[in-house]
């Protein structure tokens, strides 16, 4: 059996790494990994591939562009690969333009589609990610839901139970496995000269924040105020750097925050594990904060991970001003820990996905060579 996995952005690389490891343990399964090139900066791709031991079979070099132009180029390029490879399953991840293009290319060729991280909803169709995940869910033959909330969302939209599998979250698998590796191999805290628990880790990259001068200025003025009392570490996304330069505030940001080039996955895991608070607009970082027991402030109007708000680990800033950011981070510092819970499964999500694609069921025993983080001894 042949599975074509389609990725293009850093969070997808992490998810694919765990599923790839699990599929290596399933007999008669061959994976073809297709990288669209949606993220193409070496700091955004090469370091991730090296750390995660991923080797794409195809790199389509699509690059950036408007949503329509980028998605159209992806559709054309992915279709050619799928016609050459004739996979039994096409596997897409998350909610990017790569997700949309991969799902559409496959379904138009009559190839079965499986969607990992299905069922997330913000109920805001002004967000490109919302449109991407809606389309992928509704054309997919199997939707792998990470949480019970995601499963309920899919059912409420009329997707039949036969097309839904509740498997848990593969990013939790990755955090379990690579978290130990990061603690053993990474020394970024020493390089930054920051103490565990003393700093705020911030990431900003969503278009709603970077494309709005008012939101961009508010977020970074709030972070600059916080930096007067505690270090703020900022791995800076290329899009955000361009926006800060455009608004002529890059210099003042660099003078007050610990600004880094985009970091690899292991560096990021360690920064997350030992942060006092995380302020982010990244859905993946919100979850990873929870995995590591670190309070999180979401720099957005909403979050698809509503269970984290309910459990007290995440607070959303629906109207972002500098005062909001400053008060939100301070409140997170002072708040008691959230409720202990396991909404994202047991760390065996990737093994369940691999078994399902190979024709098994979620009730099948996991292959004995898989550990609880999805690591396969035969890989």
Q: Which residues are catalytic?
A: 205
- Tokens standing for 103? 């799902």
Q: Which residues contact 72 (CB under 8 A, 6 or more apart)?
A: none
Question: What is the rounded distance in angstroms from the CA atom of residue 262 to the CA atom of residue 238?
Answer: 8
How many separate helices (H) and strands (E) can be counted in the chain?
17, 13
Question: What is the rounded distance in angstroms from the CA atom of residue 61 to the CA atom of residue 81?
Answer: 13
Q: What letter would DSSP give residue 359?
A: T
Half-sphere exposure (CA, 13 Å, Cβ side) for 175?
Answer: 25
Strands of the sheet with 58-59, listed across from one edge = 58-59, 30-35, 2-7, 89-93, 113-116, 142-145, 164-166
Strands of the sheet with 296-298, listed across from one edge = 258-260, 232-235, 200-203, 277-280, 296-298, 314-316
Find the length of the chain: 379
């Amino acid at each position: 059996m042949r599975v074509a996995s389609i990725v293009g952005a850093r969070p997808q690389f992490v998810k694919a790494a765990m599923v790839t490891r699990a599929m290596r343990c399933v007999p008669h399964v061959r994976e073809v990994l297709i990288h669209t090139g949606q993220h193409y900066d070496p700091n955004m791709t090469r370091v991730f591939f090296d750390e995660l031991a991923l080797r794409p079979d195809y790199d389509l070099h699509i690059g950036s562009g408007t949503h329509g132009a980028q998605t159209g180029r992806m559709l054309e390029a992915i279709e050619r690969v799928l016609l050459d490879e004739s996979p039994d399953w096409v596997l897409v991840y998350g909610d990017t333009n790569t997700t949309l293009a991969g799902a559409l290319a496959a379904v138009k060729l009559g190839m079965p589609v499986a969607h990992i991280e299905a069922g997330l909803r913000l109920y805001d169709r002004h967000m490109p990610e919302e449109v991407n995940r809606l389309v992928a869910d509704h054309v997919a033959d199997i939707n792998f839901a990470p949480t019970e909330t995601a499963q309920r969302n899919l059912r409420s939209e009329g997707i039949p139970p036969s097309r839904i599998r509740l498997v848990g979250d593969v990013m939790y698998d990755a955090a379990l496995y690579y978290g130990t590796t990061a603690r053993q191999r990474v020394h970024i805290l020493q390089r930054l000269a920051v103490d565990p628990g003393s700093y705020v880790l911030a990431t900003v990259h969503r278009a709603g924040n970077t494309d709005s001068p008012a939101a961009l200025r508010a977020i970074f003025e709030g972070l600059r105020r916080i930096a007067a009392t505690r270090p703020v570490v900022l791995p800076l996304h290329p899009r955000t750097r361009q926006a800060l330069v455009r608004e002529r505030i890059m210099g003042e940001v660099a003078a007050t925050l610990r600004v880094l080039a985009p970091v690899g996955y292991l560096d990021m895991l360690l920064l997350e594990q030992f942060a006092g608070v995380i302020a982010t607009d990244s859905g993946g970082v919100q979850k990873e904060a929870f995995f590591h027991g670190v309070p999180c402030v979401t720099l957005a109007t909403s979050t698809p991970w509503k269970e984290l708000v309910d459990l007290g680990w995440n607070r959303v800033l629906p109207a972002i001003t500098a005062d909001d950011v400053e008060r939100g981070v301070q409140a997170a510092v002072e708040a008691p820990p959230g409720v202990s819970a396991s909404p994202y499964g047991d760390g065996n999500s990737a093994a369940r996905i691999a078994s399902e694609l190979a024709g098994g069921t979620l009730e099948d025993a996991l292959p004995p060579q898989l550990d609880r983080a999805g690591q396969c001894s035969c890989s």
